[in-house]
A and B are shown apart, each in its own frame.
Chain A
């Protein structure tokens, strides 16, 4: 998650104080990992320096920063470009799971057992997501869905690898 771009996006919606931005960020994107105030203000400072937001005059009141921030046309263009750009499709599993399976086969260990255990671990996590979907808000459900679809992709990979384990073992032994 890019914090500067997320804050810029929230500012494109409407000018806001740092406190309000933090609250909205935590509500929509924080998911149990709230954004520290210090990071909010340092990010806003950098965005102002780069001409992507403007900071209004300090307003009277309590709190560390009573400035209202507004997005500039440059900031808006950056948000627009970011939202139009797809995220790189990364093969999440390849590095760890594939390495473990190949090494297990290479070392004569139980690769099928490992894959079964990995599947069960993934399913356990999917069960947690399912609980969130049943008991949480629509935002929670959509984020849980995202996590579940990624896990599902892993699970399909696990199933296909399990089906090809014999061929993979032969290849590993012969190379």
Chain B
């Protein structure tokens, strides 16, 4: 297992969002996390990614305990080992497309020239080579999500976390974005954990789990569909 949640609980005030949730994800797997609004699926994603600290329980990433790491260490891990794609609002509108994709590398210790070369390569893979000089505010929703995918994958992350990545797109554009995201992740061997309420998005995954009332269920675990 590349990433694992053990008995995770997390509350917002008196409202529990996760209740002893368990989840184990294999390396290279593409997993859909589904469930109704407010079920705790985004909280689970944020805990797995080290953005939130659980109230109790453990998060393990490649044999290391994530939830007890220092903030600095977790930030470093998120920058080097994790990629993120959200529904919208993740790109810096004042920067160009190429700047946005190069940004995670520039924040690290990659040389500027190398960062922009790699950004250019990824933009080409996503069919965005001609948009490198545009500001992200000028892009369509589908183009912006493709830039976000490039930025998420440019550092070669082990795990890509996606939270409703096609939520703001029409069906066809959403499908195109998912095909790119899943196709590139498989080529790179990147594990993908995608939170979605959309069955068409979940259909790109290898399997799905359902979060309901803060607990994770795998419908096929121990059962055979008839």
Contact of B208 among A120, A133, A148 (CB under 8 A): A120
B36 within 8 A of A: yes
> Could you say which of A25-33, A65-73, A151-159 contacts chain B?
A151-159
Which A residues lie within 8 Å of B200 (CB)?
A: 126, 130, 148, 152
Query: Which residue in chain B gives the minimum CB-CB distance to A133?
Result: B175
Are B203 and A148 neighbours in the complex by a CB distance under 8 Å?
yes
A127 within 8 A of B: yes
Task: Give the number of residue pairs across the A-B interface with Cβ within 8 Å.
Answer: 45
Which A residues lie within 8 Å of B220 (CB)?
A: 117, 120
A124 within 8 A of B: yes
Q: Known: A116-B210, A120-B220. Is A151-B36 also a contact (CB below 8 A)?
A: no
Count residues on chain A whose CB falls below 8 Å from chain B CBs. 23
B199 within 8 A of A: yes
Are A127 and B219 neighbours in the complex by a CB distance under 8 Å?
no
Are B225 and A126 neighbours in the complex by a CB distance under 8 Å?
no
Are B203 and A126 neighbours in the complex by a CB distance under 8 Å?
yes
A106 within 8 A of B: no
Interface range for B: 10 to 19
As a 0/1 sequence over residues 184 to 226 of chain B, the CB contacts with chain A under 8 angstroms (1 = contact) are 0000000000000001101111001010000001011001010
- Give the distance to chain B from A57, nearest Cβ to Cβ, in Å: 49
Q: Known: A130-B204, A134-B179, A163-B36. Is A120-B199 also a contact (CB below 8 A)?
A: no
Query: Which residue in chain A gives the minimum CB-CB distance to B172?
Result: A145
A126 to B34, CA, bound (A): 15
Can you name 7 extra interface pairs (CB under 8 A) apart from A118-B225, A126-B200, A127-B203? A113-B223, A117-B220, A120-B219, A121-B225, A127-B205, A152-B199, A163-B36
For this complex, 18 residue pairs linking A to B, each with C-beta atoms less than 8 Å apart, are A113-B223, A117-B219, A117-B223, A119-B219, A120-B219, A120-B225, A123-B199, A123-B202, A126-B200, A127-B203, A127-B204, A129-B203, A130-B204, A133-B175, A148-B203, A152-B200, A159-B36, A162-B36
